[in-house]
Structure 1
């Protein structure tokens, strides 16, 4: 199917989903926009992911930036993010400069920023907060760092005080990292119990452990990115016995998709959530209301 036909099919599928569930619009807290040369390297990484995991990972929405923004709007996404992250020092401040400019020209994008444990990190994070950043991204797997690095402690304190959420890739999927898993995040939350964190990918594959952290910390949310989809269920299935916990934490689960870096059409994430059978009210909360409340969308 060509790109135009695929987008039209997806737009219709999303409209049908919203009509039957009463979801007024989508708030997607986990979408990726970043400088072109950085995104190209990310796509190269996924193109080579087959040999690493034994599973092919084709990028469904490999389009120019303007077209990707237009697609999200066509899909009924009223707010989204520009998740970006450094893999080495002396990169985060530059990424933050780019994302601030992107947010300024893309008003439906929540101004996103990032950081890395390095000299000067508190300074540029404070600068991002003062310039209007509304969400941060930390990727412990790609960055290869411990969230408890001493250089980050003032950053976490600043973000906790400001009440600005950080989307953290801290689960060990799809490939474990030195500092992934629930234990580093548990130590971080022991020092900053009111830190607003959004656990990416529902903490895949340590779902239960991250649900436990959310039970203990009222400011911890989880995003649905790739969770429950056919693709992820083959790799790291969500435990059926914990499905009831999704309902109990229904006010702190947020829609995330990983657009554009997904190996299936956008609507499959929504259909995967619907087939959990948790009801339309739960879907409205997850796909719209929780994100709208967290980011004060009005």
Structure 2
């Protein structure tokens, strides 16, 4: 394992126009990917994406040129994938540190790894300086409301960093027989509602418009002060009408800009977002201000 200096953010909040809270790093410095190749082939076809594995430095330059910042992460699903390890979290943090004017690293652990997952989460937070944790219940093969995972949520609540958890439809395994074993039900946002209720000081970002459970997601984000929605994984032109309507009103402080890059390029997402009937005073909240507050970037700027 390489020696990595602890991440510190140098993001100048006043110099950026947006914070993309959902960007994948799909390959480390050794060329290792976090999932078997079949998932890349299926997801590239599903999203019609061209480059599925840009380097972290290329990603940083993309956002630097756009005047944006981005949250970057990988996914640890080693149990579900029969021991296939994620790409290196340490490499990811080192890359984010090289580009800490635009990148903010999240960590990831496999909840099915028991006590080892808790210890690794603590290491990533304390030694590497990750700023949150990424989960994908369907790909990792776990029910987030299952009590066996509560020690992990308790530890993450104590650490004090947000989690970003996939909800809704899934491009991973799409079109493959049996969806390659990926079970959509684990990504029902109502499972995260139980976690949010039992760990009220754990900030939870529900990733993506939660089709086919959008009304459930809207209700949870409205009801739970610690729950947010990111808008990644879908072109804004396909957003459910209820999500657009409530983003303009009761959810205007709970919705976050996200793309799912490299699956959806930020320029493509932004062009479609321009056509949504979002109020002028709400757009900057969604694109930047809500994420700046949730991620503590405003506190760092003040310091």
- Superposition deviation, residue 292 in structure 1: 1.2
Alpha-carbon spacing, 1:86–1:150, altered in 2? closer, same or farther (3 Å): same
Contact kept, 8 Å, 1:118 with 1:151, in 2: the verdict is: no
TM-score, scaled to structure 1: 0.78
Alignment partner, residue 258 of structure 1: 260
Within 5 A, what are the aligned runs for 1:45-194?
A: 45-49=39-43, 55=46, 57-59=48-50, 63-77=54-68, 79-89=69-79, 95-107=88-100, 108-116=102-110, 117-119=112-114, 120-131=116-127, 132-174=129-171, 176-194=183-201
Alpha-carbon spacing, 1:43–1:243, altered in 2? closer, same or farther (3 Å): same
Structure 2: gaps of 5 or more residues: 1-14, 175-182
Larger helix share, 1 or 2: 1
Q: Provide the C-alpha distance between the structure 1 equivalents of 2:54 and 2:125, rounded to a whole number of angstroms.
A: 30
Alignment partner, residue 209 of structure 1: 216
- Superposition deviation, residue 180 in structure 1: 1.8
Q: Deviations over 1:229-249 (max 9, x none)?
A: 34xx2xxx51x2453211221
Structure 1: gaps of 5 or more residues: 1-22
- Superposition deviation, residue 133 in structure 1: 1.6
Alpha-carbon spacing, 1:80–1:43, altered in 2? closer, same or farther (3 Å): farther
Q: Provide the C-alpha distance between the structure 2 equivalents of 1:173 and 1:220, rounded to a whole number of angstroms.
A: 20
- Superposition deviation, residue 67 in structure 1: 2.3
Alpha-carbon spacing, 1:118–1:101, altered in 2? closer, same or farther (3 Å): same
Contact kept, 8 Å, 1:47 with 1:57, in 2: the verdict is: no
Q: Deviations over 1:196-249 (max 9, x none)?
A: 01111132331111111111111111111033434xx2xxx51x2453211221
Contact kept, 8 Å, 1:202 with 1:224, in 2: the verdict is: yes
RMSD: 2.8
Q: 1:222 aligns with which of 203, 222, 229?
A: 229
Contact kept, 8 Å, 1:229 with 1:268, in 2: the verdict is: no
Instruction: Look up the SS of the partner of 1:250 in the other structure.
Output: coil
Instruction: Look up the SS of the partner of 1:114 in the other structure.
Output: coil
- Superposition deviation, residue 250 in structure 1: 0.9
Are residues 1:32 and 2:48 paired? no
Alignment partner, residue 246 of structure 2: 245
Q: Provide the C-alpha distance between the structure 1 equivalents of 2:90 and 2:229, rounded to a whole number of angstroms.
A: 27
- Superposition deviation, residue 151 in structure 1: 4.6
Alpha-carbon spacing, 1:281–1:42, altered in 2? closer, same or farther (3 Å): farther
